[in-house]
Each structure stands twice: as structure tokens, then as C-alpha cells.
Amino acid sequence: MNSSLDRSASSRPFRILMVCMGNICRSPTAEAVLRHQLQRAGLDKQVKVDSAGTHGYHVGSPPDPRSQEHAALRGYDLAPLRARQVSTLDFRDFDLLLAMDGDNLAMLEHNCPSPELRGRLRRLLDFLPQGSSHAGTVAVPDPYYGGEQGFGHVLDLVESACEGLVNDLRQRLASPGHRAQSHFAER
């Protein structure tokens, strides 16, 4: 057990950081979807969500207009979000950093300032529910250079994984010592 992740239920909310490359397509989409699902599940006071990119290409920019358009069609508002880059402090400030793909997970692992914080790093799709039509998918593909259908596919994957994550969080937050690293290290 990692004591840096073991906090009492009365302390600050559990914090999740969604991570992709530029923080203008996948991770802001995941941030908005998870926030919506947490609110619907009544967990929005217990869990806080943010997003960031492993690269600083778009710092300060709003999400890609295509991401905003496709998200809006499903009831998610990405307009207030602004891109930022993952910082060294994020590894300590967030309880779980969820990468959209293996490349971004590898970059998080490379930049992680301490071996004991690596247990906080995972792929979002690790939380796909059993029996999901997306089972076996390991990466949320970057839709930036593709066609319009890629943005819908990102939403399909993110919605499904966030559903699994919310179910996992609901169980974890209800159990004593819910911030233990081992809760997220294996599923």
C-alpha cells in the first residue's frame, strides 16, 4: 500500500487527470464525459476531474471545434475547457492519471518524478466494463488528423470506459481506506 494515496474519507476529493498528447481532443472529451457521469451518479463532490496534455503544443487553446461539436451532440460542453500541459506537481496532486493511449502512458511513466507514484498511472480503457462491445481495445485513437467519424468513435470509447470507471469509483469510495494504490493497480 502506498501511504501517499491512503487518505481518509473526510479529506479532499479523489482527483483524476485525463491525459492525451495536446489536450484538445481526447482528454478534454474524457474530462467532460466523466464529470457528467459523476454528477449523474452523485459522486461529483467526492471526485474531481481535470485534463492535460503530455505536450505543450496547444496550451491555452480551447478544445478542437470538431471535439466540441461531437460532444455537444451528446450533451457535453467542452467550451470552457482550455489546454494545459501535465506538470510535475500533477503526479502528486492527482490520485489517478489516465492516459488515452500507450504512447502517452509511456511519456507519463518517463516523466513521473518518483517510482512510488507510478501506481497512479493507467490507461482510461483499462476501465472498460466487462462485456463491453469495445473489449480488447487498449487505446483511444487520436482523431485529430482523421475524419469526422473519429470524434464519434472517441466518444463511444470514452463513454464506455467512464461508465466502468464510475462503477469502480463507486465501489472504491464506499470501502474503508479507499485511496489505497492497490485498488487501482489491478482490476
19, 51, 43, 33: which is closest to 172 by C-alpha?
A: 43
**Residues annotated catalytic, as ranges:** 20, 26, 142
Number of other CB atoms surrounding residue 41 within 10 Å:
15
HEC string of 80-129 equals: CCCCCECCCCHHHHCCEEEECCHHHHHHHHHHCCCHHHHHHEEEHHHHCC
> In this structure, are residues 180 and 3 in contact, taking their beta carbons and an 8 Å threshold?
no
36, 8, 22, 6: which is closest to 165 by C-alpha?
A: 36
Query: Is the alpha carbon torsion for 130, 131, 133, 137 positive or negative?
Result: positive
